[in-house]
Amino acid sequence: MNLRIELKGGAMTASMRGELDHHTAGEMREQIDSTAKKVRPQKLILDFKEVPFMDSSGIGLILGRVRTAALWGGRVKENGGAFWHLRARGAGRRRERSENMKQIINRMELRFPSGSVNESFARGAVSAFVLCLDPLVTDLNDLKTAVSEAVTNAIVHGYRDTIGTVYITAVIYADGTVQVKVRDRGCGIPDIEKAMEPLFTTGGEERAGLGFAVMQSFCDSVRVISKPQKGTTVTLTKRFERKPNGE
């Protein structure tokens, strides 16, 4: 991911380019803070016009910069519609299970080390897997974001400061439903209900605590099974709409 910083008239503009997730947000945060703490701008503009993808790690980046700028009385402005792909899509849009959901037409399995650099690989692989459905771009982005959140949770919270293995199983059913399971063998979640509350996080002040909320908003259902010291499995289910003729 690339960053361009411009200083003009008491304002600092940080223009980002590329996909913004937990892995890339850390680098952007360090570079932005390094300059901002030196010049202490009255206005810090975060420009996302060239950011095609952002999960809740981007929200954490914005909130963290708000706190940083407040140290010297500065303010933060978001430019470029950073929240467009985190729009409300109707949380909990549960559909009845159809008979065709029992018929599997394709399946894949992935396993990879829990390094944050693999977050983009995971969401990209799942996105490529479901392209056979010729999905709407909005639906594809929804699943891509939900997978990114689930994988990030496994990396940040499941394995914390250790490296383990993240497992993904994805299944496509005949009715267009996609089910993705993201599993880790990490520390587990002692209180699932508490962990799924919006804004709750154990990942520090740079984490937004919106991971599960985003997953629930973008999927038809989200199921979490976890045991302390045994690991966590997050199951994302989403039925893809067919494109209208001619689209």
Would you name the residues annotated as active-site residues?
149, 153, 207
**CB-based contacts of 183, cutoff 8 Å, min separation 6:** 154, 166, 167, 168, 169, 231, 232, 233, 234
Q: Is residue 79 within a helix (H) or strand (E), and if so which, with residue range?
A: strand 75-79
Output DSSP code: residue 86: G
Kindly tell me the burial class for residue 103, based on how many C-beta atoms sit within 10 Å of its own C-beta (0-12, 13-18, 19 or more): exposed
Output DSSP code: residue 240: P
Kindly tell me the burial class for residue 78, based on how many C-beta atoms sit within 10 Å of its own C-beta (0-12, 13-18, 19 or more): middle
Other beta carbons within 10 angstroms of residue 118's beta carbon come to 17
Q: Strand, coil or helix: what is 28?
A: helix
Bridge-based pairing state of the strands 11-17 and 165-173: unpaired
